[in-house]
Amino acid sequence: MKILGIETSCDETAAAVVQDGTRILSNVVVSQIDIHASFGGVVPEVAARSHIEAILPVIDEAVKPVGWDNIDAIAVTTHPGLIGSLLIGVLTAKTLALTKNKPLYPIDHIEAHVYANFLESDFLTNFSSPPTSPSGLSQATSPSSTSRVGTLSLGQPHRSSSVVNGSEKSVRKSVPEFPLLALVVSGGHTQIVLFRGHGEWEILGQTRDDAVGEAFDKVAKILGLPYPGGPSIAAAAKQGNAEKYQLPKPKLDTPLEFSFSGLKTALLRAVQSECGKDFTFPSSQLAELLSTVQRNDFAASFQKVAIEILVDKIESAFIDYQPKSVVIAGGVAANTELRRQLSERLPIEINYPAPELCTDNAAVVASLGYFVAQNTKPTNPADISVTPTK
């Protein structure tokens, strides 16, 4: 069964075709990161307008290698996300479901992130600047037979994304087994979720305040590192000393809950103090007072503790629930320090998803769509709406 997935919940316009929930036949992502970078974060109105421009070309490119006749169903993210962004994907999916006469399945974005772990990643994962084909799709120089991950260049230099190219292969060794414990870590969510089967899941704990990705983004702003903060903190941290600044972990009475706002404030106070300023000094003016060495040391010290907080909790959930598999999902799952610490601390082999499947994409939406379609009737397009906060 071939499912077209559509994803527009935040600032990536994405479409992908996945066969039987596991095999990626096409995977196209147009990222708006460069547009939002100058604002230091995602501007919802701008995001929605950019989705309008990109959505049809992105879907065209994803369907092209397969053909509409061979698409069995459409799956679209309906929640959670930015309302304007979600609406563009959902309205497009509803229209296509009606005009192409395809069954339609509404998809939970957070649940979908976990399905990065069910996708085969025997496609090429070494990213570099691609040549652009005449169609506008930047393509792998030597794509594997059935898979293609690409980006559209829509003639706007401020759009960015990456494309597969070549030399490195990452092959999933085994599919996750139930019960599985998932650590879902993104810009909007930090959750430990226990899956007993497809569609049978329970949130064991989540953040009380900031999501971990949000904390990375806010700390990057304080340090003067570019948006999105996760990758730029990770890059700066590689050059820094993670032991330089001692930042506190929260002490919560609920063992599987998270909190990141205290860590973020502790980092702010440490930067103010390092710069010889008191707590009234504006955070927006601190970055220019930091040397590169200080900035890198702060990035490394913050990253180490933020990741330790995640790993402490997942270790404790692992002891309590004894799952057969542990998986990570969401944008922060691309973080290599998270992967390093998890492998060190958990007595179980973890198959990490390819980083490009951790951040927002539609392959995970199409994958979950397949498993939903096994047990559920499609939803009437007229009954599908967006639920931004659910």
Note the residues at the interface with Zn ion (CB under 5 A): 186, 360
For residues 111 and 360, which CB has a smaller minimum distance to Zn ion in the complex? 360
For residues 193 and 373, which CB has a smaller minimum distance to ligand KG4 in the complex? 193
For residues 9 and 296, which CB has a smaller minimum distance to Zn ion in the complex? 9
Q: Rounded distance, CA 57 to CA 29, Å?
A: 11
286 binds, among ligand KG4, Zn ion, none (CB under 5 to 8 A by kind): none
For residues 114 and 247, which CB has a smaller minimum distance to Zn ion in the complex? 114
Contact 2, 19 (CB under 8 A): yes
H or E stretch covering 62: helix 44-63
For residues 71 and 82, which CB has a smaller minimum distance to Zn ion in the complex? 82
Q: How far is the CB of 335 from ligand KG4 (least distance, A)?
A: 3
Q: Is 176 in the site for ligand KG4 (CB under 6 A)?
A: no
Q: Rounded distance, CA 325 to CA 180, Å?
A: 5
Q: Is 230 in the site for ligand KG4 (CB under 6 A)?
A: yes
Report cis status (omega within 30 of 0) of the bond before 228: yes
Q: Is 106 in the site for ligand KG4 (CB under 6 A)?
A: no
Other Cβ atoms less than 10 A from the Cβ of 101: the count is 8
# residues near ligand KG4 by CB under 6 A: 19
Q: Which of residues 28-47 bind ligand KG4 (CB under 6 A)?
A: none
Q: How far is the CB of 307 from ligand KG4 (least distance, A)?
A: 9
Partnered with residue 106 across adjacent β-strands are 76
Q: Which of residues 181-200 bind ligand KG4 (CB under 6 A)?
A: 186-188
Q: Rounded distance, CA 171 to CA 175, Å?
A: 11
Q: Is 57 in the site for ligand KG4 (CB under 6 A)?
A: no
The amino acid occupying position 263 is L
Q: Rounded distance, CA 376 to CA 104, Å?
A: 11
Q: How far is the CB of 368 from ligand KG4 (least distance, A)?
A: 14
Q: Which of residues 334-363 bind ligand KG4 (CB under 6 A)?
A: 334-335, 359-360
Q: Rounded distance, CA 169 to CA 167, Å?
A: 7
> Which residue spans within the chain are E strands per DSSP?
2-7, 12-19, 23-31, 73-79, 104-108, 127-128, 137-138, 149-152, 163-164, 180-185, 190-197, 200-206, 325-329
Helix (H/G/I), strand (E/B), else coil: 219: helix
CA-CA distances (angstroms) from residue 135 to 60, 138, 151, 333?
11, 8, 11, 32
234 binds, among ligand KG4, Zn ion, none (CB under 5 to 8 A by kind): ligand KG4
For residues 203 and 270, which CB has a smaller minimum distance to Zn ion in the complex? 203
Q: Is 231 in the site for ligand KG4 (CB under 6 A)?
A: yes
Q: Which stretch, 49-57, 202-210, 230-238, 310-318, contacts ligand KG4 (CB under 6 A)?
A: 230-238
For residues 57 and 188, which CB has a smaller minimum distance to ligand KG4 in the complex? 188
Binding site for ligand KG4 (CB under 6 A): 10, 186-188, 213, 216-217, 228-231, 234, 330-332, 334-335, 359-360
